[in-house]
Amino acid sequence: MRFLPITGVPMTVVQAAIEEREALLNARRRSKDSFDVFRVWAVFDRDDHPNVPDALALAKENKIDIAFSNPCFEIWPLLHLIDYGAQDGRHAVQERLKIEMPAYDHESGATIDFKLIKDRFSIAYERAKTHNLNRDAEGAPLGCPSTTVGELVRKIAENGKGSLSRRVY
């Protein structure tokens, strides 16, 4: 597993993921191991970024998996702690996370308190799944609030054949 230290607007992240996928495909073509299987994920959130729908469409067109959160990444750790379903903006979600997770401060590094949420993956995953189904039913897939970060975490755990409660979180 590799992580690319690419940050920026969603379109930049998706373009970097496409380049990485192409490089991996080229390496696989040169390899004698025809069973080399990989997935490339782009991770980004809605925030106030421009061209998010275009980035999502480009990712899909180029077979890039997406871990996306709306309105912001903080919805994912917040769902470990409470079933937060308000259609608030990112600042409200960040403030609520600070209330539920006192060690969290967006302005000084936005570090998540891993110990506080480590055993609550299944709860967060089910909450996110419900919110995502609700957005789909409303005709607003990936609308606010929603997150697919749990799908990425689940895939990482499955690849390592580990228990989500013990090895990932």
Q: What is the pLDDT of residues 147-162, one digit of tens each?
A: 999 999 999 988 866 5
**Which of 26-30, 41-45, 82-86, 88-92 bottoms out in mean pLDDT, i.e. has the lowest?**
26-30
Q: Token match 């709860």: residue?
A: 123
Number of Cβ within 10 Å of residue 144's Cβ equals: 20
87-90: which pairs have CB atoms within 8 A and are 24 or more residues apart? 87/143, 87/144, 87/145, 88/144, 88/145, 90/45, 90/46, 90/47, 90/48
pLDDT for the residue numbered 169: 32
pLDDT for the residue numbered 36: 67
Q: Which amino acid is located at 1 in the chain? A: M
Q: Domain residues of the chain, as ranges?
A: 1-70, 72-169
pTM of the predicted structure, to 2 decimals: 0.87
Q: How far apart are CA 10 and CA 53, in angstroms?
A: 9
Residues whose CB is less than 8 angstroms from the CB of residue 34 and which lie 6 or more positions away in sequence, other chains included: 28
Q: Which of 67, 65, 96, 64 is nearest to 80 (CA)?
A: 96
